[in-house]
Chain A
Amino acid sequence: DSGVTQTPKHLITATGQRVTLRCSPRSGDLSVYWYQQSLDQGLQFLIQYYNGEERAKGNILERFSAQQFPDLHSELNLSSLELGDSALYFCASSVASGRSYEQYFGPGTRLTVT
């Protein structure tokens, strides 16, 4: 158990809909990262928040947005969903100190768009 929690575990929805994925980082971690994992694209970085502020953006579509709240949990909002958005979405958190800068991944949310 990494200490990172994500809800829901599974989500099935139709094209055109909007969903919200939720993540709580490990206690004390200020950084939250969102990654998308699909069969053809692998594990891709979407967006990072640090202590409530957006820190870095990766290959995130304009239809997707995220935020981090004062209690440090984060939400990833996916709208106007398309079949190609079906994927595993992982949230990760990290500590600022230490040598390895390892990231701790949550169990993921499997999104299926039908």
Chain B
Amino acid sequence: GQSLEQPSEVTAVEGAIVQINCTYQTSGFYGLSWYQQHDGGAPTFLSYNGLDGLEETGRFSSFLSRSDSYGYLLLQELQMKDSASYFCAVRVGNSGNTPLVFGKGTRLSVIA
């Protein structure tokens, strides 16, 4: 099976940088994704790492180390609107259409 661990809560100051870590245990690994969910909203895709290294998308970056079964999401120049829950997720199979197993989510609070 698959399990993912991430911190339950993180607080950071507006304008700062925050890193949300995720460690995983999987029977097979097919990539790590990150989703953002605002209160009352739907999860929305942020980033995907299939190979080791850093992927950058604007203020958000995601990193993966497959040898350490570890990844992180880095949010820079934090804004109040970044207050949300962030989920790491792994795909359960190798084809393009496979379900995701999610971590329990990290609630990020951005304070002034």
Residues of A within 8 A of B (CB): 2, 30-31, 33, 42-45, 48, 50, 55-56, 58, 90, 94-108
Interface size, chain B (Cβ < 8 Å):
25
Question: In the bound complex, do residue B33 and residue A105 qualify as a contact, i.e. CB atoms below 8 Å apart?
Answer: no
A105 and B48 contacting across the interface, CB-CB below 8 Å: no
Apart from A102-B33, A103-B45, 14 more pairs, CB < 8 Å = A2-B42, A2-B44, A42-B103, A42-B104, A43-B43, A45-B92, A56-B99, A94-B97, A98-B96, A99-B50, A100-B48, A101-B48, A102-B48, A104-B45
In the complex, what residues of B have CB within 8 A of residue A30's CB? 97
Q: Are A105 and B99 in contact (CB under 8 A)?
A: no
| Structural contact, A101 and B91, CB atoms closer than 8 A | yes
B6 → chain A, closest Cβ, in Å?
10
Q: Which residue of A lies closest to B93 (CB)?
A: A56
Given A45-B99, A101-B31, A90 and B43 contact (CB-CB distance below 8 Å):
yes
Cα A34 to Cα B33 with chains together (Å): 18
Chain A proximity of B50: nearest CB distance (Å): 7
How near does chain B come to A32, taking the closest CB pair, in angstroms?
A: 10
Whether B26 is near chain A, meaning CB under 8 Å from some CB there, is no
Q: Which of B33, B102, B103, B104 contacts A100 (CB 8 A)?
A: B33
B102 touches A42 (CB 8 A): yes
Q: Contact partner of A58 among B45, B47, B48, B99, CB < 8 A?
A: B99
C-alpha gap A48/B93 in the complex (Å): 13
Q: Can you identify 16 A-B contacts, CB atoms within 8 angstroms?
A: A2-B44, A45-B92, A45-B100, A56-B98, A56-B99, A95-B96, A96-B95, A96-B97, A99-B50, A100-B33, A100-B47, A102-B33, A104-B45, A105-B42, A105-B44, A107-B41
Q: Does B87 count as interface, using CB distance less than 8 angstroms? A: yes
Query: Which residue in B42, B45, B95, B102 is a CB contact (below 8 Å) of A102?
Result: B45
Question: For window 57-109 of chain B, which residues contact chain A by CB distance below 8 Å?
Answer: 87, 91-93, 95-105
